[in-house]
Amino acid sequence: MQLVEPRPSRPIPIRITPLIDVVFILLVFFMLTTRLLPVDYLELANNTSNRSPITGEPLPELTVTANGKVQWQGQAMALDQLMTELGNAGITEVNLATTGDTPLGAFTRVLSSLVDQGIDSHWKRTNATTP
């Protein structure tokens, strides 16, 4: 015995009008609450006025060796001597490289000393040599 009559098998139409109303209300809300800044006042942090990759001398290259000394201009120097030489030469930016067997501690000491002296350093990664 069936108590409820079955529903007729016709598709139920989806009314789009309320959906469109909601979308327009959201659009108006976001348009009213959004604050647009003028393009003239955008602040960009792009300070490239004092540096040009095309012209100028190449950066000096320092190579940290396994014994903790640093090679610069064909000479192996202790870290204190190197900092004095770089300061006297007025160098503010260098490329820093390591040999394949340089310990991490030696690299870190040299990098920390360069940062303390205010010298920007760029690390040139080299692959370890296998015997």
Q: What domains does the chain contain, in order, with CATH numbers?
A: 61-124 (3.30.420)
**DSSP secondary structure, the chain, as one string:** --SSPPPP--PPPPP-HHHHHHHHHHHHHHHHH--PPPGGG-------TT--SSSSPPPPEEEE-TTS-EEETTEEE-HHHHHHHHHHHT--EEEEEE-TT--HHHHHHHHHHHHHTT-EEEEE--PPPP-
Residue 60: what pLDDT? Answer: 85
Residue ranges in the chain whose pLDDT is less than 70: 1-2, 36-56, 124-131
Please tell me the pTM assigned to this model: 0.53
